[in-house]
Amino acid sequence: MKYITKYKSPNFNSRKNSRVQLIIIHYTALKNTLEAISYLCKKEKKVSSHYLISQNGDVYNLVEDKYRAWHAGQAFWHEITDINSISIGIELDYNPNGKNNKFSFKMIYSLKKLIRKLLKNYKINKNGILAHSDIAPFRKKDPGKHFPWQSLSSSKLILNLRKPKKREIKIIENWFHSHNLKSKKQKTILALSLIGYDTREVYKNDRLYNKLVRAYRNRYLNSKDINNNKSIYNTLIKHLFNFLLTKN
């Protein structure tokens, strides 16, 4: 896979021997690729990513994989708060309010090709391909509800959630019951926590809880089910079951 390497960001430091475990997908929310390159390569911005993919599928390598690019910001996943040290950041030239408001075929083709290479190089688990909104659900929305996760799933790059059998769902529900988790909210928070999300403050803050659930549903539910609380809960239980089977 060929990269454009003539632009380099100064905004990185050492991983300090941390192993790459995650791939984080972002969107730029800027006007075009050149504006994104300028922003990500300015020292005073103190932000960068390893890769930037344009609308026409060009892949820019702005920071070498061996370095810690500054793309995740304040984030959390599976009790880890220094996400930059264990991740590769990929920015997409996309702005929901701009002319570049489509995830083009060429862009997604290049993204899938890049992800495939990174999965192989770093032995990353399919559970480790995340949205910026997964690791920072209280402050970030990217890559947004229109990002084609199904395309990545169809290409077997991310976990394809198979529907559990009734007896398998009953096992999970019995486990909830044995731990005195009665409300759907309690079960939802625990499931999200086990999957990896930051649930530290959501028990006592409804606003944060709603943001967390919104981030989850925008990624995992289709448009017709996105506001259906039963669909959100059922998807979450299915996700938890699949995660527990594939977490290694």
What are the catalytic residues?
91
Cα distances from 88 to residues 85, 115, 123, 212, in angstroms, run 9, 10, 13, 23
Please list the alpha-helical segments (H only) found in 32-131.
Answer: 33-40, 105-122
Which amino acid, one-letter code, is at 9? S
* Strand ranges inside the chain, DSSP E: 12-14, 22-27, 51-53, 59-61, 67-69, 87-92, 129-131
3-state helix, strand, coil in the chain (%, to 5): 40, 10, 45
